[in-house]
Structure 1
Amino acid sequence: MSAAPTPTLDEIRDWPATVNVPEAARAIGISKSHFFELIKRGEAPVSVLSFGARHRVVTASLVRLLEGA
């Protein structure tokens, strides 16, 4: 099974207000395990909402990150 293709910036702009960590990781080109580690260390490059052990990434912050890349 191959990984899903990296979404385009236009596709990301159409995403809901928040997305799960695996989807956000795919958008910025890192593994979900690395993204979870960044969240754990407080070093995520985007805004993350945490609800106990659950995390959601703010789509607008993904767009800002990718626009600046």
Structure 2
Amino acid sequence: MTDRPPTLDEIRGWPAAVGVPDAAKAIGISKSHLYELIARGEAPVKVLSFGKRHRCVTASIVRLLEAA
């Protein structure tokens, strides 16, 4: 990824789930803030957790951004 936030069209082309850093950049928050939201169960996107690893569902990122 680049330093700029991805466009909605770029996000639509992502794999089904992406890492927290990419998801955070897409929705415009820091990755540490998104990790905090995940830990509290308050993430604005659907998160798949595998132990301490998390993946954010791309479709939920798209829905969030389309609603904004």
Deviation string, structure 1 residues 42-66 (Cα, Å, up to 9, x no partner): 0000000000000000000000000
Offset, 1:9? 0.2
Offset, 1:36? 0.1
Find the counterpart in structure 2 of residue 59 from structure 1. 58
Deviation string, structure 1 residues 25-45 (Cα, Å, up to 9, x no partner): 000000000000000000000
Distance 1:68 1:28 in 2: 12
Structure 1 vs Structure 2 CA RMSD: 0.9
Aligned length: 67
TM-score (norm 1): 0.95
For structure 1, list consecutive stretches of 5 or more residues without a partner in the other structure: none
Identity of aligned residues (%): 75
Q: What letter matches 2:41 in structure 1?
A: G
For structure 2, list consecutive stretches of 5 or more residues without a partner in the other structure: none
Q: What letter matches 2:65 in structure 1?
A: L
Matches within 5 A, 1:6-45: 6-45=5-44
TM-score (norm 2): 0.96
Distance 1:64 1:8 in 2: 13
